[in-house]
């Protein structure tokens, strides 16, 4: 059971816009930045979005992030076949049980 909740799957057709949600709580997303990763099969995760809506250099502007309250979203516009991957959100958890980075369970995106 992940601290951050993501839908297990999402899908879209080429050219479409897809959004992936990430739900948390006041002790994590509510007070900390959210980051997003893309993991292609058999490879290490790649940072897509950091600090809620910032793109590292080299990440296409088709990828965008947002945060509101205790939830965050990753949007992918102009969907391409190479976007088929698993996407993870993460943030810092700050509660009585301790501190640390927490991840969502991942959303497998299928490009139909």
Partner 1 sequence: QVQLQESGPGLVKASQTLSLTCTVSGASVNTGGYFWSWIRQHPGKGLEWIGYIDYTGTTSNTPSLKSRVTISTDTSKNQLSLQLTSVTAADTAVYYCARDHSRFGEFSGAFDLWGQGTLVTVSS
Q: Which is nearer to partner 1, 19 or 94 (CB)?
A: 94
What are the tokens at 104? 């969502």
Tokens 């949007």 belong to which residue? 75
Q: Which is nearer to partner 1, 14 or 100 (CB)?
A: 100
Bin 12: left if φ > 0, else alpha if -120 < ψ < 50, else beta: beta
Q: Which is nearer to partner 1, 24 or 106 (CB)?
A: 106
**22 closest CA partner among 13, 32, 14, 12:** 32
Q: Which is nearer to partner 1, 23 or 50 (CB)?
A: 50
CB of 102 to partner 1, least distance (A): 7
CB of 111 to partner 1, least distance (A): 21
CB of 58 to partner 1, least distance (A): 10
What are the tokens at 94? 């700050």
CB of 15 to partner 1, least distance (A): 29
Q: Which residues bind partner 1 (CB under 8 A)?
A: 2, 32-33, 35, 37, 43-47, 50-51, 56, 88, 90-92, 97-106
How far apart CA 51 and CA 8 sit, in angstroms, is 23
CB 70 within 8 A of CB 29: yes
């Amino acid at each position: 059971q992940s601290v951050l909740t993501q839908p297990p799957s999402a899908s879209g057709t080429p050219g479409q816009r897809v959004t992936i949600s990430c739900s948390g709580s006041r002790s994590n997303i509510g007070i900390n930045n959210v980051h997003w990763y893309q993991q292609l099969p058999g490879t290490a995760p790649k940072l897509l979005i950091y600090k809620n809506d910032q793109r590292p250099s080299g990440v296409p502007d088709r990828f965008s992030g947002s945060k509101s309250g205790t939830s965050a979203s990753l949007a992918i516009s102009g969907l391409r076949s190479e976007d088929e991957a698993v996407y993870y959100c993460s943030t810092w958890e700050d509660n009585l049980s301790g501190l640390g980075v927490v991840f969502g369970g991942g959303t497998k995106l299928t490009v139909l």
